[in-house]
Amino acid sequence: MELDLTPPTSDQRQVLEAGLSAEERRVLLAHGTEAPFCGIFLDNKRSGTYCCRLCGLPLYDAATKFDSGTGWPSFFAAVNPRHVGRLRDDSHGMLRTELTCARCGSHLGHVFPDGPPPSHERHCLNSVCLQFVDAGQPLPDPLARGDRLPA
């Protein structure tokens, strides 16, 4: 799945951010972390696509989700590697790789090298950073770009 990765304009971003709750702002915009074992998508078993809560970019297919036992939704691969950015994160006295939405730059979580095959990666995400679209339903298009493909 290849979509337009052009970042939202300042006006679009302002509108998108205005729709966020305080907790969504803290995690998505200020690189926070939600408490473990409380996220809405931790136990979600439905088929579909996990998209960025802010800009709607499709990030992960439910088929790549697995139970890591960590308390956060975990995936072994993105829908498209270009949709998820990776940044060095040396906060909290440790070196990690932060995951961000490649279109809007929102914080998603972190990636660790202890996942299942074939990637052996664990993309550990905050539920609050995601929106879920059931299989067969149209993907969100908050930027009204008309670039959404069926899931």
Please tell me the distance from the alpha carbon of residue 56 to that of residue 29, in angstroms, as a whole number: 15
Signed CA dihedral, 149, 65, 107, 140: sign only: positive
Active site residue 104: no
Contacts of residue 93, Cβ cutoff 8 Å, sequence gap at least 6: none
* Active-site residue, from 52, 55, 104, 124: 124
Paired with 58 in beta bridges are 51
The structure tokens listed for 93 are: 């006295």
Which residue's entry shows tokens 């299942």?
Answer: 116
Residues 88-97 as b or e (16 or more Cβ within 10 Å = b): eeeeeeeebe
Compute how many other C-beta atoms are within 10 angstroms of the C-beta atom of residue 49: 22
Please tell me the distance from the alpha carbon of residue 72 to that of residue 144, in angstroms, as a whole number: 30
Which residues are catalytic, by number? 124
